[in-house]
Structure 1
């Protein structure tokens, strides 16, 4: 590979510096750098971040290639500034064996737009009754370290305890979809004033909070790691804060859409706003932002959930739950956290690159922008502001809640080990 000189970028939002890439690694970071024959990227005024890492992505392959594939999903990831994503296990067949996780892992390697780390199912078929082949998935070529039945809750306390005990042996983590199923039967949206007025089945906050409370206590008892997927309520924040104060090994994520959108949008009955967990209240949104800023919530994860047109363009009750998010995540975080003064760009790097890579043990990702480190990088035009047009998405699906909405920031370049996957906003 030829050398690349990124000139005048604000590294992590700081003072302008030059970054010289040689092959797959960063050769030097400083001012006034030069390199004969290097490709020069003029980055004045733009922010350079380590490549983003998403701990919660649905790539749908195998089985639902009508909504997304590893190829289209990783192209969407590169467009959004991601160099690594963790692919959830709720595929068809379920990623509950070494064979399936290896298939997903190798597809990621073949396509090359970002690294794909499969997440293994906790239970066979996501059915919650019998532990899946956790050890075999960990020892496979995919080297699985994160396990989740996301889309379904591991609601049996005995099964959850056994999973926590099992992954402890090799330093793995169980990522819980916190949803008490008995409390959410027939639920369509957040339980509250809006659900009562619309006559839609309510999804109470306690359905999430009760599972989180149970699981942090189980993690403490076992001495294992638990990660809370898509935390969405103010009460959940307080439980995680309490658990961390006790020294319990718990981490938590929040999605971009839960940082910005509220259940008031459901008044439109537009199924694009139907998601699991549901959009909550303004009070919850503010609590989530504050918790992300103070570190109670560790990371931002997209929960990128693509669906084909026919699964969303229907009446509310029949519509699938989920939103695409890889290509808009950084813009939403800029809108809600940076432009509001709650985080600086170094804080964004910590929550969207360093920490998710640490939780998921993504080798070579979430590394400092410094000499000798892998050249996994994202360049952002933070001054840009424009309307979201899903017609231009790289994802196979278009179920975004932001269509027509003006958002700040635009990823212009992404490099994966020194190879450009996105140049001037266009995939290579």
Structure 2
């Protein structure tokens, strides 16, 4: 009973899935009537419902989605100014006599495509090999399994590929089960039947150039799989992978202690083989979890954290001066090399915290003890010049135990000093950028 022209009710479909409420964006409205009316909302698909928590999410109508409870939402208004409403009077009433939900298969074909890697997922580290002036190509390969969970055939499946690599790399691409355009990026697979799968591979070969040190930057790969059929969960039909590229046999690698430690700890067995060209591509690739010392983070640590500050510039200069001697010491002493690696690994999470723009990681007693012991060992084994530099810097820093409990941000200001006005730059927080 809505006896006034401005009295109305609005009804939306609603459902609950996984403890969350979703409301339809479409609605029916009844205005200014005193008779029963019937109305319907038709062909409501998952994208016609939006989560009421403001996230913008839609429910999952696929076979793997959770149970759904159906209901409705009623909104009403008793606004009326013509004729005026007597104060305190109830001017309308409304109710739902009966309601029903009909669930049917969508008219268009639904094919749930899922992409999974057949090669190691996540970030990988690749080392290139060389003998004399010949470069044996590292061969990072991304293999993907495209599975259709149905219920319909996925028609006209396409794969859009993205490769981003350092500019100093020559490259070529070999593809398996993919028909691609001239650039090798827009590819077709064809139809994939329900419950069927097809394995594809994007095999890209890189040729590094000499003179860039051990680290040669990042290569990024992405594959986005699509179909003319409706995919209820498009988020799982893509895949990306980052390769960190290294050329440990570059002579420039052996004047930098951290580069040397990285190469010896992670690729020493490969570098000592007599015929590198016989090493399988897979043997040159390691998952990030298997890597000791994350070498790529130390370039932004140097360039973006240390270089803009006067104290940082001084330490960078010391590193350049004494790096070859320290590298020689690490190569001749297993004890010193083990201590250096352990110290770097211990401090690395703090460096990552600083690079992320957070810097709240605190310095522990174990970190200070390891650093003190390593500096003592280097001074004992090193030349008089190295001993003098270490002694001078320790005198400048003061008692290292005073740094225990400090955040990395606080310690940075004390150790690296003031910003150099001539070089200070504001950087957005990052973890890693490709080094050119």
Q: TM-score, normalised by structure 2?
A: 0.22
Q: TM-score, normalised to structure 1's length? A: 0.22
Which of structures 1 and 2 has the bigger CA Rg? 2
Greater relative CO (CA pairs within 8 A, separation 6+): 1
